[in-house]
Each structure stands twice: as C-alpha cells, then as structure tokens.
C-alpha cells in the first residue's frame, strides 16, 4: 500500500472542486463524440470503401468529413486533459512519467494518423474515380493508429488510478533512481476492458451520427440512401450495445473490489450506476423506432441526444469511480482551493464562444450540404 498524501500540504487548486470536476466531465463528453467517430468510423469508412452502392456512399461521406472530425476531437480533448492535470497533478505526472515513452508516442502517432486521414479523404475526390493504392493503405494505417492510441491512453489513465502499482513499476523500470519511462500497464485487466467499453460506445456513437448525418447533411431527395443509413445505423447500434454491455459488465464484476462495488451501489450513487448500465438502451430504442423511416430532425435529435446522454452517464460514473480509486492515496475533494476568478472567467468566456462558433460552423455546413450535396 502506497503511503497516503497529506492533501492539506498540496498546492491549492486554482478553481473550486465542483468547477474542475464539472468541466473535466463536460470536456470529456464533448471530446468523446468526435473521438468515437474516428475510433470506429475511420476503420468502417476504409472497409466500406471497397463495397458498392450505399455502403460506398456512406464511406465517402464519413471519410470526407473525417479531417474536420479529428480536428474537433483533438481540440475538445484539451479541456479534459487540462482539468486532469489541474485536479490530479500528484497522480497524473507519476503515471505519465512512468509510461513516458508510450504517452509521448501518442503525439507522434496522431501526427501520422492525421496525415493518413487527409491522404484517404483526398483520395475520395480522385478524378479517376479510383483511389490510389497508397492512399487506401494510408486510410488503414490511420484507422489502426487510432485504435492503438486509444489503447495507449487507457494505459496511462488506468495507471493514474492505480497508485499501488507505481512503486513496483518504478523499481523495475528505473536507472540510478530515475524512471526510464518504459513502464506499462498492459497486464492490468481493467485497461483492456475499458478499451473494449470505449469501442462499444464508439460503435453506438457512429450509429447515432449516421442518423444525424442522413437527416441534417444529406439532400432530401436522396431517399434511398437515407433509408439505408437508418437500417445500417440500427444494425451498428445493436452491435455496439452488445459490446458495451459485455465490456461494461466484465469491467464492473471483474475489476471492481467489494468496497468500490458497495460504494457505487449505495446511496445516491445507485441511481447513477443503474442509469449508466441501462443508458445504451435509449439510442437502441431510438434507432429501432426509426429504422424503417427516412431520418428527419426528430430522429436525429432522438438518436443523437440519447447517445450523448449515454456518454454523459459513463463520464460521470467514471469520474466518481476515479475519485474513489485515488482516495486511498489522496482525496481530491480535500485539496486546498484558491480560486483564480479572473482566469476562470476568461476560460468560461473563451469556452462558450468556442462552442458557439463551432455550433454556427456546423449549422452552416448543414445548410450548404442540403443545398449542394449530390
């Protein structure tokens, strides 16, 4: 057991505890939407490109949108990463120093993946109608790198919440007392189950986005494609719900100890746990209801809104679990607080303006797509 920190001696958080926790969760939800699309959607787009008909059209649509989706995901990812470092510097830095080479490699892999996304996207616009082989290969490489980056994130963040593992890893991956940065957490079962859980959620998100795209970004006269999109979204959503349920159940019953299980099923946390477990039913119901109908704004709102709720419930539950996992080392809610109101106000203004601008941009894209999409 690692020695507990004296939280009263830690540097004060520059914002109230609730503020840090709220924006960490909100930022993570905003990040997960585009991140889920590249996590699963990129591989499906490359796979479906070799097909014909509506599947090929779906691949071309998502592949063309992918550079913008990745840009949104990377930028939204800054928010939760910022607040992780603000709330848990005493846990974030030990974990990422121990796994430094794996953690740093995410940046390198992201750069190559981004190039691969652009190569594939521009290949979709080839005048010959046939994508060059190297661009198609670049798409597969990008898809594989996105899946690998998800695993590396799970590697670092699962270790962050496992302080009892830090010292053994440091002792086995150090030279003259200094960490070599070559430690990893791949032997931890929770890492793989969390990766699979994210895979299932990503399938659900991609399914919901397919309905949103068909309703908001495809011309109304493309009825056959939109009907196909509704049916495909239902099939993908069902598969995603199965993966999510299986991975989630294995994660809870296979990695939670008795204390954590009792905590998450007791008091006011029981409704949160139940809602988190049951929430994937909502997008599946929405996708089932509209699977034989041309997607409209109501279908898009039902599918998209219910999936955002799924991501939100999972993010809140994960936050509660993370706080308890770290409580034996340091109780984050007991860390001194010294709010910097000026910096907080500047962040809020910038955040709201940024989200508003992105919303306006998406609205303009939807309007233009309805007018000019083939």
The number of helices, as runs of H, and strands, as runs of E, in the chain is 14, 2
Q: What is the DSSP string of 235-286?
A: HHHHHHHHHHHHHHHHHHHHH--HHHHHHHTSTTHHHHHHHHHHTTHHHHHH
Domain residue limits at 332: 13-372
Q: Is residue 2 part of a domain?
A: no
In this structure, is residue 4 part of a structural domain? no
| pLDDT, position 338 | 92
Q: Assess whether pLDDT exceeds 70 at residue 236.
A: yes
**Mean pLDDT calculated for residue range 52-74:** 94
pTM: 0.93
Q: Is 70 inside any structural domain? A: yes
pLDDT of 370 reads 63
Task: Encode pLDDT of 271-313 as tens digits.
Answer: 999 999 999 999 999 999 999 999 999 999 999 999 999 999 9
Asked if residue 340 belongs to a domain, the reply is: yes
Mean pLDDT score, 170-188 = 93
Domain membership of residue 8 (yes or no) is no
pLDDT of res. 355:
86
- How far apart, in Å, are the Cα atoms of 150 and each of 32, 158, 371? 11, 12, 37
Tell me if residue 218 falls in helix, strand or coil: coil
Residue 264 lies in a domain: yes
Model confidence band, residue 329 (pLDDT cutoffs 50, 70, 90): confident
Q: Is 7 part of any domain? A: no
- Domain-embedded: residue 240: yes
Percent with pLDDT over 70 in the chain: 97
Count Cβ atoms below 10 Å from residue 170 Cβ, excluding itself: 17
Mean pLDDT of 184-209: 96
For the cut 70, the answer to whether the pLDDT of residue 164 exceeds it is yes
- Give how many domains the chain has, as a whole number: 1
């Amino acid at each position: 057991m690692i020695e507990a920190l004296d939280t009263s001696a830690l540097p004060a958080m520059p914002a109230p505890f609730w503020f840090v926790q709220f924006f960490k969760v909100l930022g993570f939800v905003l990040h997960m939407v585009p991140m889920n699309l590249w996590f699963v959607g990129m591989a499906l787009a490359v796979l479906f490109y070799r097909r014909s008909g509506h599947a090929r059209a779906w691949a071309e649509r998502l592949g063309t949108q992918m550079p913008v989706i990745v840009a949104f995901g990377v930028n939204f990812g800054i928010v939760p990463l910022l607040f992780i470092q603000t709330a848990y510097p005493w846990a974030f830095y030990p974990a990422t120093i121990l796994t430094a080479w794996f953690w740093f490699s995410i940046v390198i892999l992201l750069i190559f993946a981004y190039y691969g996304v652009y190569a594939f996207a521009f290949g979709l616009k080839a005048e010959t109608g046939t994508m060059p082989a190297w661009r198609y290969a670049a798409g597969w490489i990008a898809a594989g790198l996105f899946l690998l980056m998800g695993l590396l994130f799970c590697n670092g963040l699962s270790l962050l919440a496992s302080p009892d593992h830090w010292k053994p890893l440091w002792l086995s991956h150090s030279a003259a007392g200094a960490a070599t940065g070559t430690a990893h957490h791949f032997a931890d079962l929770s890492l793989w189950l969390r990766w699979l859980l994210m895979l299932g959620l990503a399938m659900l998100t991609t399914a919901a986005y397919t309905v949103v795209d068909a309703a908001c970004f495809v011309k109304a006269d493309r009825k056959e494609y939109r009907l196909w999109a509704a049916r495909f979204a239902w099939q993908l959503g069902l598969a995603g719900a199965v993966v999510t349920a299986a991975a989630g159940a294995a994660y809870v019953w296979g990695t939670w100890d008795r204390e954590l299980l009792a905590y998450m099923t007791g008091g006011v946390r029981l409704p949160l746990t139940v809602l988190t477990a049951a929430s994937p039913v909502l997008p599946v119901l929405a996708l089932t209801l509209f699977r034989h109908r041309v997607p409209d704004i109501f279908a898009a709102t039902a599918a998209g809104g219910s999936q955002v709720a799924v991501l939100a419930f999972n993010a809140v539950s994960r936050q509660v679990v993370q706080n308890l996992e770290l409580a034996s080392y340091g109780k984050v809610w007991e860390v001194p607080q010294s709010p910097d109101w000026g910096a907080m106000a500047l962040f809020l203004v910038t955040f709201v303006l940024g989200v508003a601008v992105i919303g306006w941009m998406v609205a303009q894209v939807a309007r233009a797509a309805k007018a000019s999409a083939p």
